[in-house]
Structure 1
Amino acid sequence: MIDPHTDRVLITGAAGEIGKALRSGLRAEWRHLRLTDIRPIPDLAANEEAVIADIGDRPALERMMQGVTALVHMTGAPAEHDLEMLFRVNARGLFDMFEAARLAGVRRIVFASSNHAFGCYPIEEPVTPAHPARPDSLYGVFKVLGETMLRYYFDRHDIRSVSLRIGTYRRLPIDQRSLATWLSPRDVVQLVERSLRHPDPGCLVANGYSANTRIKVRDPNWDFLGYRPVDNAEDHVEMLRGMGVDVDGAWEWPEHGGAFARMPERPARA
């Protein structure tokens, strides 16, 4: 278990939407929060310190990791970026961050993976974290890489970790698919906190959703973590219906990854 009163936690991507939610939800209990992002991090509390750095700056990563017990790695390039950016941030940067953590003696890593790590499974199949990965995009491929790297760091270096296959993180659900995949701000805080406080998660993969009525996965490892989501996308069905979203018809996408699984990619060379 990571002790919120004595252990320093480093949160990457702290200026992003999930990072903001984590700061708001954790700062009251966690006494030593170190925050990093390439963008400014405003309104620091007394128990927060900020390090502005690029994930490609390996010496900066090694410096910021000093004295850190747990890493919450939320930095990532979104799926719409090209291969070069995805590789720089979500592959090379990911390795540099994890390796800096190892060299500094970090004991726990919580990683923002994605449900796009299994997005090519048919929606009728209730996927569990025990299923083999079936990424639906290069973005998903690099998330699987992160999960695999954490298995290596567990087996070789005894670093405990939780990879969170985060679904649709928004303040409110946004479409039909998010009625199954929504993760609310207060639920993401609870999920990360449970991942930090668990006495021994081993090398765990867990789904990152709220308690949605229309959830399409099974055995998400929530009981093991002690995660009890409190929000449900179904509470916002009328809002979506009023926006013209079809919440009553057949499921729109045939795979768990939604549109990702069928997006056109660069054509093969002739």
Structure 2
Amino acid sequence: MAMHLTGLKTGSRVVVTGAMGWVGSRTLGRLATEHEVKGLDLEPGAAGGCVVDEIDLIEYEAVREALEGAEGVVHLAIASRRALTHLDEHDYAAVEIQSNVLGTRNVFEAAAEAGVKRMVYFSSLTIQLGEPQRRWIGPGAPLRPSNPYAVTKLYGEQLAWLYANQGRLSTVAWRLGQPYPVEHFSLEHMRDPEERACGITAGDIARGMLAGLSADLSVFEAPEREAGPAEELPCGGRPGFTPGFAVANLVSASDTGDGHGYDLSVARRLGYEPAECFTAEGPVPVQSLRKAIR
């Protein structure tokens, strides 16, 4: 089965994992304005007017059945520390590995077997935030996971590259910033330029989802660069391209300029344009600002 490089058309069938989480519950409705959407989660219910079916991603056959007929998959599901506060450190680590590693593997394999045309995988900026100097995360930023969760997200990126390199599944991997607002990332944090530079609103996350599903990866070519040690890594520490695979930062705009922040040049090539900008007073519409941002 040939891998699809062109993006999905409006009205495609899209399955979203982790649909009842913070991101999923706030974006499914927007996604459903352009596609036929079904959610999957450990907790069944409804979000954004979409049905969310119960599933445990550890059970491969259940995942394979749930993805039958899907044209696109948005993989959000993770082990949530906030939902598992009753577990001690070691028990939580076991659940995190099961969900973020084995569960992610099952989603990729099931998607490839089901003939899914496009995967949108939500990685995390934390895969680079272990770097001591991180005032500006550009295309050449090294991979420095800041915690075990970040290591599991990097695994997902490498898995996405592997499936694309094998010609089995095309993926756009977004290195997601800090969703806003949540209890540990609120208005008081906006006074710190480094903090607000990594923020992203639910609206901009939804724009990233839609861009990832519709991006035409056939138009990209590998960037020219000198061979070196970084070439040994599939991602090379850089948001770059291999046929059927793209990885890029996903944040809202900010008023911090190049002093603090995350390069969005690759994201824009994928069709993402932030509509909201973080300031010291919180997010505002981009068009309301007169000065150029990022």
Is TM (by shorter chain) over 0.5? yes
Percent of residue pairs bearing the same amino acid type: 24
Contact 1:114 1:165 in 2 (8 A): yes
State the match for 1:3 in structure 2: 9
Counterparts of 1:71-90 in structure 2, within 5 Å, are: 71-78=73-80, 82-90=92-100
SS of the residue 1:63 aligns to: helix
SS of the residue 2:254 aligns to: coil
Q: In the alignment, is residue 208 of structure 1 matched against residue 214 of structure 2?
A: no
Change (3 A) 1:139 1:43: closer
Change (3 A) 1:160 1:146: same
Q: In the alignment, is residue 159 of structure 1 matched against residue 169 of structure 2?
A: yes
Deviation digits for residues 86-140 of structure 1, max 9, x if unmatched? Answer: 1010111111111111111112111110011111113445223443311111101
Q: In the alignment, is residue 236 of structure 1 matched against residue 238 of structure 2?
A: no
Match of 2:178 among 147, 156, 168: 168
Change (3 A) 1:29 1:160: same
State the match for 1:193 in structure 2: 210
Q: In the alignment, is residue 12 of structure 1 matched against residue 57 of structure 2?
A: no
State the match for 2:287 in structure 1: none
Corresponding letter in the other structure for 1:208: L
Structure 2: runs of 5+ lacking an equivalent: 1-6, 83-88, 221-243, 284-294
State the match for 1:120 in structure 2: 130
Number of aligned residue pairs: give it: 234
Contact 1:165 1:206 in 2 (8 A): yes
Corresponding letter in the other structure for 2:124: S
Match of 1:225 among 265, 270, 284: 270
Contact 1:74 1:112 in 2 (8 A): yes
4+ residue runs of structure 1 moved beyond 3 angstroms? 78-81, 129-132
Alpha-carbon distance in structure 2 between the residues aligned to 1:107 and 1:133? 28
Moved more, 112-121 or 216-225: 216-225
RMSD between aligned residues? 2.2
Change (3 A) 1:124 1:27: closer
Normalized per residue, the structure richer in strand is 2
State the match for 1:266 in structure 2: none
Alpha-carbon distance in structure 2 between the residues aligned to 1:104 and 1:124? 40
State the match for 1:134 in structure 2: 144
Contact 1:79 1:139 in 2 (8 A): no
Change (3 A) 1:218 1:43: closer
Contact 2:71 2:115 in 1 (8 A): yes
State the match for 1:34 in structure 2: 38
State the match for 1:261 in structure 2: none
